[in-house]
A = this chain, B = another copy of it.
Amino acid sequence: MTYASALEALAPSTRRAVFERLRKGPLPASRLAEGLSVSRPAVSQHLQVLKRARLVREEARGRQRIYSIDPTGLEALRAYLDTFWDVALDRFKQTLETSRPKRSKSKRSKP
């Protein structure tokens, strides 16, 4: 059920901006707030939500806490999307067959 909190966490644009900023690598909270148009406490609150959703991890480093991307939440999201993916492809293929008869035999492999 981690995918639910992960989806809710990535929905707001500014919180997503905080998360996307971690693509460049781990950063302390103050540095994360620099480029954004919101206050530093707002970024802290967003980081708590992201942490609860297992999307970021915090590491105490002296008097500053460094945040980095946590693969756990991403993996939960990917697994959730996969549950729709094969169904969507199946229905899509079925739609193609109804419009015009065509043959295709592509099978999707799971990692």
Task: Name the residue of chain B whose CB is nearest to the CB of A26.
Answer: B91
The answer to whether B83 and A23 touch across the interface, beta carbons within 8 angstroms, is yes
Q: How far is the CA of A89 from the CA of B78 in the complex (A)?
A: 14
- Name A87's contact: one of B23, B83, B87 (CB within 8 Å): B23
Instruction: List, in ascending order, chain B residues with CB within 8 A of A20's CB.
Output: 84
**Is A42 part of the contact surface with B, judged by Cβ < 8 Å?**
no
Chain A interface extent, by class: 20 to 34
Query: How many whole Å from A6's CB to the nearest CB in chain B?
Result: 10
- Name A69's contact: one of B4, B26, B88 (CB within 8 Å): B88
Query: How many whole Å from A15's CB to the nearest CB in chain B?
Result: 10
Instruction: List, in ascending order, chain B residues with CB within 8 A of A68's CB.
Output: 91, 95
The answer to whether B7 and A11 touch across the interface, beta carbons within 8 angstroms, is yes
> Can you add 4 more A-B contacts, CB < 8 Å, to A8-B11, A23-B87, A69-B88?
A7-B11, A25-B91, A70-B88, A74-B85
